[in-house]
């Protein structure tokens, strides 16, 4: 796991080389002009994303508790950086899935005819409550609870991401994550079809509190859901990282367990929830651009 401050100081060649592994591709790291190429033919044959991933699934896990208004606004305000980066990768991408969930069972989906969308990890298609967009955002262009490249993401994402601040103060971001990509991504349930075996999964967790755990089982389930290929998962934690420089007010706390979870992924990195989201998104774009290249 790499802290955000460490990532931004890496030379570009090293950064992109590291991120290439994040899509399950052969580790190729350029360092001082030397090319280090460690190929594993057996893994190549078994990894469905190997050889240049052309599909990316994005999941945003957003804390909707009372202290999150500033951070939700920063997320929405900085999303154009992310959109621009995604558009730059369209030549090598076949498709994009993008979903939003909250850190509790989100009541804003109350009008969704699918009752499973009210469970923890249900993809958000409408918002209600204080400081939310209070809008029917989906179903999206392809009729699902997740967005695709056919949606105007500059409109649909801010709609869904403004989840409001009336959520439970006991956040469960890791359970929401595993529920979204495993439990509810089943035929006939809320997230059916969201996560694909042959897609890179990029997870962005935005919260000013920690997760109650357990960490190991959440990690194991997520990796199992990706066919055992942990390098096909990129996790960005916008949190109060240990020894955070962010002010801790109210229920806010250092995210020791979320940091532990992120550290288990080679391509996980932490950034302060009170920091510059545009810079963080630039790192996520670097992951997608390298992972979905045609090299």
Task: Please provide the size of the chain in residues.
Answer: 295
CA distances from 239 to 230, 248, 276, 291 (A): 21, 11, 12, 25
- Residue 242 and residue 256 in contact, taking contact as beta carbons nearer than 8 Å: yes
Residue with tokens 């920091």: 275
Helix%, strand%, coil% for the chain, nearest 5: 35, 15, 45
pLDDT digit string, tens, across residues 74-120: 999 998 887 777 667 556 677 889 999 999 999 999 888 899 999 99
pLDDT at 91: 60
Tell whether the model's pLDDT for residue 203 goes beyond 50.
yes
How far apart CA 82 and CA 92 sit, in angstroms, is: 16
Map out the domains of the chain with their CATH numbers. 2-291 (3.40.50.410)
> How many Å from the N-terminal Cα to the C-terminal Cα in the chain?
25
Joined tokens for residue 184: 């509810």
Which residues lie below 8 Å from residue 52, measured CB to CB, with a gap of 6+?
23, 25, 92, 292, 293, 294, 295
How far apart CA 244 and CA 71 sit, in angstroms, is: 15
Beta bridge partners of 163: 132
pTM of the predicted model as reported, rounded to 2 decimal places:
0.83
pLDDT digit string, tens, across residues 24-37: 433 322 223 333 34
Question: Which DSSP letter does residue 124 get?
Answer: P
Tell whether the model's pLDDT for residue 225 goes beyond 70.
yes
What average pLDDT score do residues 219-228 get? 96
Which residues lie below 8 Å from residue 142, measured CB to CB, with a gap of 6+?
148, 150
pLDDT confidence band for 178 (50 / 70 / 90): very high
Question: Which DSSP letter does residue 206 get?
Answer: E
Tell whether the model's pLDDT for residue 142 goes beyond 60.
yes
pLDDT at 120: 97
């Amino acid at each position: 796991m790499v802290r955000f401050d460490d990532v931004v100081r890496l030379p570009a060649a090293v950064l992109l080389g590291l991120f290439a592994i994040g899509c399950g591709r052969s580790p190729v790291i350029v360092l001082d002009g030397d090319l280090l190429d460690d190929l594993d033919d057996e893994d190549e044959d078994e990894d469905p994303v190997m050889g240049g991933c052309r599909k990316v699934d994005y999941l945003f896990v957003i804390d909707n508790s009372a202290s999150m208004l500033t951070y939700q606004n920063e997320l929405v305000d900085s999303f154009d950086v992310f959109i621009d980066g995604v558009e730059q990768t369209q030549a090598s991408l076949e498709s994009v899935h993008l979903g939003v969930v909250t850190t509790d069972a989100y009541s804003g989906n109350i009008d969704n005819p699918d009752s499973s969308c009210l469970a923890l990890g249900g993809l958000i298609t409408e918002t209600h409550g204080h400081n939310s967009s209070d809008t029917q955002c989906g179903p999206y262009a392809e009729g699902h609870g997740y967005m695709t490249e056919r949606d105007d993401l500059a409109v649909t994402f801010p709609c869904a991401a403004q989840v409001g601040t009336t959520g439970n103060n006991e956040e469960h971001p890791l359970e929401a994550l595993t529920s979204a990509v495993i439990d509810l991504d089943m035929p006939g349930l809320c997230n059916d079809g969201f996560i694909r075996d042959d897609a890179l999964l990029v997870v962005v967790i935005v919260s000013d509190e920690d997760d109650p755990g357990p960490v190991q089982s959440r990690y194991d389930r997520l990796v199992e859901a990706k066919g055992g290929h942990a390098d096909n998962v990129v996790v960005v934690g916008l949190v109060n990282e240990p020894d955070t420089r962010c002010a801790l007010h109210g229920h806010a706390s250092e995210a020791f367990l979320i940091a532990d979870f992120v550290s288990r992924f080679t391509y996980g990195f932490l950034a302060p929830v009170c920091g510059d989201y545009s810079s963080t998104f630039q790192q996520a774009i670097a992951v997608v651009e390298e992972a979905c290249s045609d090299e």
